[in-house]
Amino acid sequence: MTQTNLKHPSNADPRRDQLGNILENHPVQNQGLRRWLTVFLGGLTVLASIGFIVLLGINTWDRINIHGRAVLLNVIFYPAILYAGMLIAGVLAISLAVLFWQDGVTLYEKGMVQIKAKRTRSWLYADTTRFDSHISRISFGGSTVSLRVKIILENADRQRLVIRNRYRKILEMIENLRGKILPELIRKCQDRLLMGEKLYFHKHLQVDQNRIFIKMVEFPNNKINLSLQNQFLTLREKDNPKKVLLKLHCHRVRNFDVLIDLLDTLPGEGDLSSFR
């Protein structure tokens, strides 16, 4: 049922008919639990606050009949604020549950859709000019205890779509996006190199067809060795391996996967296969 509702995410989006068929859906982690627990707690708070307000009204009426209206403020003021706050909190919790009810990412044949707080955003794979997937694992005792993921998509207009690890099967999503986006993106970058363009990967790292530019200094491809270790990219002079020209964490490099693929095909490179 969810996939059927997501097939045409927005009647106002002209790109919706270009997405193709649904491949898979990635809802928010523990979505069902979050939905119904929030609704249950919010509903319970609303009912409790209504009950307290009714009891407060009955108690206030009894005291007015006995002591007169002079005791009205002493009896009702602070409890009324508390119960009104409870009522507002309960309604807000239910509203938030409804607002985020459909949150998720759906992959299609030619694009994807992200629904976040009832806001729908479509993305065509062919529009992508940048694809980066940042994965950080926090380990303890040899086991991964936490996983941080950030997927960055960018188009020619510098518009971004950012996906974090709040969705189910996020690693599977990354692999599917790689397969859909990277081959075409790499081909486009290769075409730009053949046309004599310089590709920008970092403010200290640019590449053209025959040269690597490191901190504004030009080096022939066959004069540079590259190594990858612990998610750090290190560039050294081939004739002086002890001299480090540049060392960058892969998360700081724009289009890192594209860079690695391009450099892997250039002459004079270090062996990057260990990173793959």
- Residue range 44-59, pLDDT digits in tens: 999 999 998 888 888 7
Residue 91 CA to residue 157 CA, distance in Å, equals 40
Per-residue buried b or exposed e for 8-25, using 16+ beta carbons within 10 Å of the residue's own CB: ebeeeeeebeebeeeeeb
Residue 257's φ and ψ, nearest 5 degrees, are: -65, -35
Question: What's the CATH code, domain 2-28+102-193?
Answer: 2.30.29
Cα gap 262→206, rounded to integer Å:
12
pLDDT, tens digit, for every residue of 104-146? Answer: 999 999 999 999 988 999 999 999 999 999 888 776 666 666 7
The Cα–Cα gap between 56 and 58 comes to 5
The DSSP annotation for 96-154 comes to: HHHHTTT-EEEEESSEEEEEETTEEEEEEGGGEEEEEEEEEEEEETTEEEEEEEEEEEE
Closest CA to 115 of 21, 5, 225: 5
pTM: predicted TM-score of the whole model, two decimal places: 0.77
Assess whether pLDDT exceeds 50 at residue 273: no
**pLDDT, tens only, 212-256:** 999 988 988 888 888 888 889 899 888 888 888 999 998 999 999
Instruction: Count Cα neighbours of 22 within 13 Å in the Cβ-side half-sphere.
Output: 16
pLDDT tens per residue, range 7-43: 444 445 666 778 889 999 999 988 888 889 999 999 9
Strand order in the sheet with 244-249: 224-229, 232-237, 244-249
Tell me phi and psi for residue 16, to 5 degrees: -65, -30
Q: What is the largest CA-CA distance in the chain?
A: 99
Given a contact cutoff of 8 angstroms between Cβ atoms, the answer to whether 153 and 161 are in contact is: yes
**Lowest-confidence region among 73-82, 128-137, 202-211:** 73-82
> Tokens representing 108?
């299609």
